[in-house]
Structure 1
Amino acid sequence: MTGRSGDRVGAPFRFDYDSPVLRYGADCVADLADELDRQGFERALVVCGSTVGSTPAVMDPVRSGLGDKLADVFDGTTPEKRLSTALDARDAYREHDADVLVSLGGGSSLDVAKAVSVLAAGGHARDAAAQEFAETGTLSADGDLDPIVAVPTTLAGADLSVVAGLNAHPDSGLVDEAVSGGLSDRRLMPRAVCYDPALVATTPRDVLAGSAMNGFDKGIETLYAANATPVTDATAARGLGLFADGLRELGRGDVTVDTLEPVLEGLLLVQYGISRPDETTLSVIHAFGHGLTDGYAVQQGAAHAVVAPHVLRHLFAEVDGRRDLLADALGVGTADDPAEAVVEAVADVRDALGLPDSLEDVAGPEPDDFPAVAETVVEDAFAANAPRGLDLTTDDVEAILRAAY
């Protein structure tokens, strides 16, 4: 591919990444106790939401896989990812003398588990944790953090990550006003991630579809990000091909192990190396996702589904955006217009999943809100990782939002 537009062969790069142990395969949760034993862990607290915690098709294989290493289950996580929830889970972690957290479910459970890891290591009292979070928007801890093993049941791709979102609300009694923040620390990378198609197949189709668009866009952005590397090029390109074909099949057929196998392999690959110490390959689509969900009821996967084609069309009008590499990865490399072919391929995946294609159809901002949303998008940390040469302005964002409405 040397000499093609957007190619970076020969460009200097630095790739710093601590990969977890990756376990993949149908029914691989049966080996959870084996993985914990290999890593020297004895007592696991499972951290999940109430729906997962009350679903035998999910919990029974996990309980069986952990065996006598299961200390207890904390099933109180919510999509709001509250500091109060993390503090309650930390207390349960201590009460049961656990030495490893097993996050089970979607990204919110993993984020809460990461906050538990920091809170357990830092020895934060509740009031002290609330004060620090209110003042700084984050939490600190010295030394080693308590370990996490992730078992995802959705397709959002939050697993291979060193960051976590966290929020606090006055109704918890911990803070006087709402605080939105998060954690970022290389020690937050899980020690192991277990990708089990049989377990993910228990998740309802609508949940999988929404989360899938978020995970899929991670691969898209990783290829055009300003800090892309040959390592992430390889994993994201291969992952996108598996992901795109697999998601179309998932949209057409039943949610089965067979349909999920290529999807989960694609998810694993597009995540590899995207969340690194001090940097990430997430970019403008994810910045839009944050802007559209900040204060609005729209689910992030739905937000991605609506805006991704419009963001890409704007991006390709301004810069190369490595359109050839993206087109090859998505199986449309022979198209006369690779940029438009990429946009159409992304829209095709969205449509195959039955996701919305208009902001008017989701519980998001109205046109009068677009200026405020645009400010949030351009100020988002991920926007700084836009493709080289793309200077995203609030006027640009508003135009994209109007086109998506």
Structure 2
Amino acid sequence: MTPDYRFAYDPGTIVYGRNCVSRLEHELERIGAERALVVCGSTVGATDAVIDPVVAGAGDRLAGVFDETTPEKRLSTAFDGADRMSEDDIDALVSLGGGSSLDIAKVMSVLAASERPRGEIESTFERERAIAIPDSTLPPIVALPTTLAGSDLSAIAGITVREGGLTRGALVDDRLMPAALCYDPALFETTPHEILCASAMNGFDKAVESLYGSNATPITDGTAVRSLRLLGRGLPRLGAGDRDQDTLHDAIMGTVLAQYGALGGERITASLIHSFGHGIARGYAIQQGGAHGIVAPHVLRYLFDNVDARRDLLAEGVDVDTTGTPEETATAVVDAVTEIRDALGLPSRLRTIDDLSKRDLPAVAADIADDVFIPNVPPGLEPTEAELEGVLRNAW
């Protein structure tokens, strides 16, 4: 029996196609932007094959480039960007790159609209791990993704402060949804192989978790199963170095479908794998997608040992047989996810993370237990820190 649910979602306009960034000026005009600022990292900003088509596509509506974002997503960077917006009279942002640049752009839009002093915002964030979003209209964002992490179609932004220790927080508001998103395969072709493959695991796991998360709906089931079918076909080819039209289509569209359900509605379906990814990647030298690749099979095994976790629907998504026993189905799903991870060439053991020690695992488990997505674990599961540490040790 399908439980009662409500699914409210107002996504940005999705534009897909090779060289679609050449029409960026049209999208900026459509949202009323006259002076747009590109927000990206220094590597993207210095890579002609990425930045030049964007500059050309934005035309006279481009006011400049802010290329100071980093994977750490520091609040100080967002403040610097907001200052640049004020100095150059910016009324819209163009996020170019991975999820870090988009998160910084979202926080920049909030800071630009806020009248609160910087010190007050920083102290509140340290205390509450959040930033108050003003009631006024926020500067709109056009997102130009170059990775497959799947954080684009969302109204969420993550941010960190490292003063006096690491403080992580998140902003959630419908106004943080990008007004438009341009998925241009030509941009994805410029992304280094290792980065693209690691990000793909992050997007893949969003689809996996949309099926077993406590707030799954029939709508998210549909997008997630179709996503897994496309990604199951495209990611092994991507991992082998293939970037032809069909491979990129399956990888990009599979990621769009994964996040369309997972991040779009009122109740985000990201769950336990993402909690593990946060606990590992935000404290140690590994991308979140790489962390997901290491722990995903072990997290799934832990889930299947304790609850059903909708293993039959997961099996449908990853295209494995469901005619055997529940234990055989669970094993087949874990094996299929492991094969995707290995095809992408991702690390398989936590011990390969240079700055992670086995002595750190209890602290990482405590961090995971406190993660924002822990309440989304499957019904009937109440993970303890000891159990979470056990999963980490199995992945060691």
Counterparts of 1:113-124 in structure 2, within 5 Å, are 113-124=105-116
Task: Identify which of 238, 250, 257 aligns with 1:262.
Answer: 250
Rounded to whole Å, the distance in 2 between the matches of 1:260 and 1:306 is 24
**Structure 1 residue 334 displacement after superposition:** 4.6
Rounded to whole Å, the distance in 2 between the matches of 1:47 and 1:65 is 15
Q: Aligned residue for 2:137?
A: 144
Counterparts of 1:237-252 in structure 2, within 5 Å, are 237-252=225-240
**Structure 1 residue 195 displacement after superposition:** 0.9
Rounded to whole Å, the distance in 1 between the matches of 2:200 and 2:49 is 21
Find out whether 1:167 has 2:155 as its counterpart.
Answer: no
1:216-235 deviation per Cα after TM superposition (whole angstroms, max 9, x unaligned): 10000001111101111111
Q: Aligned residue for 1:338?
A: 329
Find out whether 1:105 has 2:97 as its counterpart.
Answer: yes
Rounded to whole Å, the distance in 2 between the matches of 1:19 and 1:180 is 26
Deviation larger for 220-229 or 333-342: 333-342
Find out whether 1:236 has 2:227 as its counterpart.
Answer: no
Quickly say closer, same or farther: Cα 1:280–1:116, change in 2 above 3 A.
same
Rounded to whole Å, the distance in 2 between the matches of 1:169 and 1:394 is 24
Rounded to whole Å, the distance in 2 between the matches of 1:316 and 1:188 is 35
Rounded to whole Å, the distance in 2 between the matches of 1:335 and 1:354 is 30
Rounded to whole Å, the distance in 2 between the matches of 1:254 and 1:185 is 37
**SS state at 1:363 partner:** coil
The one-letter amino acid of 2:357's match is E
Deviation larger for 46-55 or 11-20: 11-20
Find out whether 1:45 has 2:37 as its counterpart.
Answer: yes
**Structure 1 residue 126 displacement after superposition:** 3.0
**SS state at 1:273 partner:** helix
Find out whether 1:21 has 2:13 as its counterpart.
Answer: yes
**Structure 1 residue 276 displacement after superposition:** 4.5
Quickly say closer, same or farther: Cα 1:56–1:383, change in 2 above 3 A.
same
1:83-122 deviation per Cα after TM superposition (whole angstroms, max 9, x unaligned): 1111111111122222111110011101100110100111
Q: Aligned residue for 1:370?
A: 361
Quickly say closer, same or farther: Cα 1:335–1:253, change in 2 above 3 A.
farther
Rounded to whole Å, the distance in 2 between the matches of 1:109 and 1:185 is 18
1:301-357 deviation per Cα after TM superposition (whole angstroms, max 9, x unaligned): 111111000100111111111111111111114563221111111100110011111
Rounded to whole Å, the distance in 1 between the matches of 2:246 and 2:120 is 48
- Identity among equivalent pairs (%): 54
Find out whether 1:87 has 2:82 as its counterpart.
Answer: no
**Structure 1 residue 279 displacement after superposition:** 2.6
When normalised by structure 1's length, the TM-score is 0.93
Instruction: Give yes or no for contact 2:12–2:178 (8 Å, CA) kept in 1.
Output: yes
Task: Identify which of 284, 298, 302 aligns with 1:310.
Answer: 298
Rounded to whole Å, the distance in 1 between the matches of 2:352 and 2:135 is 46
Rounded to whole Å, the distance in 2 between the matches of 1:225 and 1:134 is 29
**Structure 1 residue 177 displacement after superposition:** 5.5
**Structure 1 residue 179 displacement after superposition:** 3.1
Q: Aligned residue for 1:75?
A: 67
Rounded to whole Å, the distance in 2 between the matches of 1:278 and 1:268 is 17
Rounded to whole Å, the distance in 2 between the matches of 1:16 and 1:305 is 31
Task: Identify which of 186, 189, 206 aligns with 1:198.
Answer: 186
Q: Aligned residue for 1:131?
A: 123
Counterparts of 1:320-359 in structure 2, within 5 Å, are 320-334=308-322, 336=324, 337-359=328-350
Rounded to whole Å, the distance in 1 between the matches of 2:285 and 2:237 is 29
Structure 2 residues without counterparts, runs of 5 or longer: none
Q: Aligned residue for 1:3?
A: none
Instruction: Give yes or no for contact 1:133–1:139 (8 Å, CA) kept in 2.
Output: yes
Number of residue pairs the alignment of both structures matches: 392
Task: Identify which of 370, 388, 392 aligns with 1:379.
Answer: 370
Rounded to whole Å, the distance in 2 between the matches of 1:144 and 1:250 is 40
Rounded to whole Å, the distance in 2 between the matches of 1:383 and 1:343 is 21
**Structure 1 residue 402 displacement after superposition:** 1.3
**Structure 1 residue 158 displacement after superposition:** 1.0
Task: Identify which of 4, 11, 16 aligns with 2:3.
Answer: 11
The one-letter amino acid of 2:381's match is L
The one-letter amino acid of 1:78's match is T
The one-letter amino acid of 1:345's match is A
**SS state at 1:209 partner:** helix
Instruction: Give yes or no for contact 2:322–2:329 (8 Å, CA) kept in 1.
Output: yes
1:9-46 deviation per Cα after TM superposition (whole angstroms, max 9, x unaligned): 53211112121111111111112111122222222110
Rounded to whole Å, the distance in 2 between the matches of 1:91 and 1:255 is 39
Root-mean-square deviation (CA, aligned residues, Å) is 1.6
Quickly say closer, same or farther: Cα 1:124–1:54, change in 2 above 3 A.
farther
Q: Aligned residue for 1:158?
A: 151
**SS state at 1:102 partner:** strand
Instruction: Give yes or no for contact 1:186–1:276 (8 Å, CA) kept in 2.
Output: no
Rounded to whole Å, the distance in 2 between the matches of 1:278 and 1:332 is 31
Rounded to whole Å, the distance in 2 between the matches of 1:104 and 1:349 is 27
Quickly say closer, same or farther: Cα 1:379–1:137, change in 2 above 3 A.
closer
Rounded to whole Å, the distance in 2 between the matches of 1:116 and 1:49 is 14
Quickly say closer, same or farther: Cα 1:343–1:335, change in 2 above 3 A.
farther
Instruction: Give yes or no for contact 1:289–1:300 (8 Å, CA) kept in 2.
Output: yes
Quickly say closer, same or farther: Cα 1:314–1:135, change in 2 above 3 A.
closer
